[in-house]
Chain A
Amino acid sequence: NAGVTQTPKFRILKIGQSMTLQCTQDMNHNYMYWYRQDPGMGLKLIYYSVGAGITDKGEVPNGYNVSRSTTEDFPLRLELAAPSQTSVYFCASSYLGSTGDGYTFGSGTRLTVV
């Protein structure tokens, strides 16, 4: 199993540009999450999904959008990129919320907005 796959691994955006961070999992997990991690800081939840067609805001959703059309995919859309969105973005999935084997994380996307 590949687990959680994120693409791209690195990206540089100019202010005002938009992009989509891709996330795919092959574990048939219902729950998926997007976190961002600023340098030296903990993870902050952006959005999460409890199943296809269902998404909800996390702690820092402003400037982002998500969709969940399939169980496997949970893309994160950045519209009008700003320097404050420079961060490492992690996608995660889980089978039983936070219990059981917990979250499985992808390897991250390092985004720089200049």
Chain B
Amino acid sequence: LAKTTQPISMDSYEGQEVNITCSHNNIATNDYITWYQQFPSQGPRFIIQGYKTKVTNEVASLFIPADRKSSTLSLPRVSLSDTAVYYCLVGDIGPPQTGANNLFFGTGTRLTVIP
């Protein structure tokens, strides 16, 4: 099973680009990589998902190297409202199964944006 490892916390100043890396050395061929954002007192919110190379949407970019053993969530020009916990999940397509990686969120990375 592909276990994920993320930094526990990160600080950044407003306006800077923030890169959060997730390690998943045992990722399987069919696994996708998904990132979620959680604000205090709210449920997590889907940010972005990818399989390989680069994915970009209106919120973030996701960079995945060729070996797919890690991924980097990039948040451009962060603001105070980006202060949140960011979770990286790895899992395959299809119905959930007990023990599957895509059901486990871990502790995430707590990003604090400083004025």
- What is the bound-complex CA distance between A58 and B96, given in angstroms? 10
Which residues on the A side are within 8 Å of B49 (C-beta)? 99-100, 102
Interface residues of B in 9-34 (CB under 8 A from A): 32, 34
Classify chain B's interface size. 20 to 34
Q: Does A33 reach chain B (CB closer than 8 Å)?
A: yes
A96 touches B43 (CB 8 A): no
Shortest Cβ distance from residue A111 to the other chain B in the assembled complex, whole angstroms? 14
- The segment from B61-69, B76-84, B100-108 that touches chain A is B100-108
Which A residues from 37 to 59 make CB contacts under 8 A with B? 41-43, 45, 48, 50, 56-59
A71 CB, min distance to chain B CBs, angstroms: 14
Find out whether the CB atom of B34 lies under 8 angstroms from the CB atom of A98: yes
How many chain A residues touch the partner (CB < 8 A)?
A: 31
Q: Mark B85-114, 1 if CB is under 8 A from A, else 0.
A: 001010111111010001111111000000
Residue of B nearest to A96 (CB): B93
Which of A31, A98, A101, A104 contacts B89, CB < 8 Å?
A98
| Binary contact readout A97-114 vs B (1 if CB under 8 angstroms, 0 otherwise) | 111111111111000000
| In-complex Cβ contact of A97 among B102, B104, B105, B106 (8 A) | B102
Question: A74: CB under 8 A from chain B?
Answer: no
